[in-house]
Amino acid sequence: MLLSFSYSAIKAQLNQTHGSKMQEPDQAVQIAIHDFSKTKLFKKDSVFVVTLYDTLYHVAYDTISKNNYRSKRGRAYPNIIAVDILGYPYKYFLDTTVDLNNQKGIPSRFIEKNGKLFIGWGTHDRLTDSTIKLLDKYNLIGRSGHDDWYKFIPGIDDAKQAAQYYFCRSNLYLYKKKITSAAIGYYDPPTLTCEQ
- As a whole number of angstroms, the distance between CA 19 and CA 70 comes to 43
DSSP characters over 130-172: HHHHHHHHTT-EEEE-GGGGGGGPPP--TT--EEEEEEETTEE
Q: Residue 5: pLDDT above 80?
A: no
More confident residue, 32 or 67: 32
What does the pLDDT read at residue 27?
92
Residue 86 — very low, low, confident or very high, per pLDDT cuts 50/70/90?
A: very high
Q: What is the pLDDT of residue 103?
A: 74
Cβ-based burial of 180 (10 A; exposed 0-12, middle 13-18, buried ≥19):
middle
Q: Which of 58-72, 73-87, 89-103 has the highest mean pLDDT?
A: 73-87
- Between 71 and 37, name the one with better pLDDT: 37
At residue 99 the predicted structure's pLDDT band, cuts being 50, 70 and 90, is confident
Burial class (CB within 10 angstroms; exposed 0-12, middle 13-18, buried 19+) of 30? buried
Domain residue limits, the chain: 1-90+158-187, 91-153
> Rounded distance, CA 40 to CA 21, Å?
32
Could you give the residue ranges of the DSSP H alpha helices within 37-188? Answer: 41-44, 129-137
Confidence at residue 151, expressed as pLDDT on a 0 to 100 scale: 54
At residue 23 the predicted structure's pLDDT band, cuts being 50, 70 and 90, is low
Residue 131 phi, psi dihedral angles, 5° rounding: -65, -45
Q: What is the pLDDT of residue 156?
A: 64
Q: How far is CA 87 from CA 44, 70, 140, 142, in A?
A: 8, 28, 13, 18
Of 183, 185, 187, the closest CA to residue 73 belongs to: 185
**Dihedral sign, CA of 188, 35, 51, 28?**
positive
Q: Per-residue pLDDT for 68 more than 90?
A: no
Global pTM value: 0.78
Q: Compute the distance between CA of residue 157 and CA of residue 57 in angstroms, rounded to an integer.
A: 23
Residue 136 pLDDT grade (very low, low, confident, very high; cuts 50, 70, 90): confident
The residue among 47, 46, 139 whose CA lies nearest residue 91 is: 139
Q: What does the pLDDT look like over 41-54, one tens digit per residue?
A: 999 999 999 999 98
pLDDT in tens, 148-189: 554 555 556 677 899 999 999 989 989 999 999 999 999 999
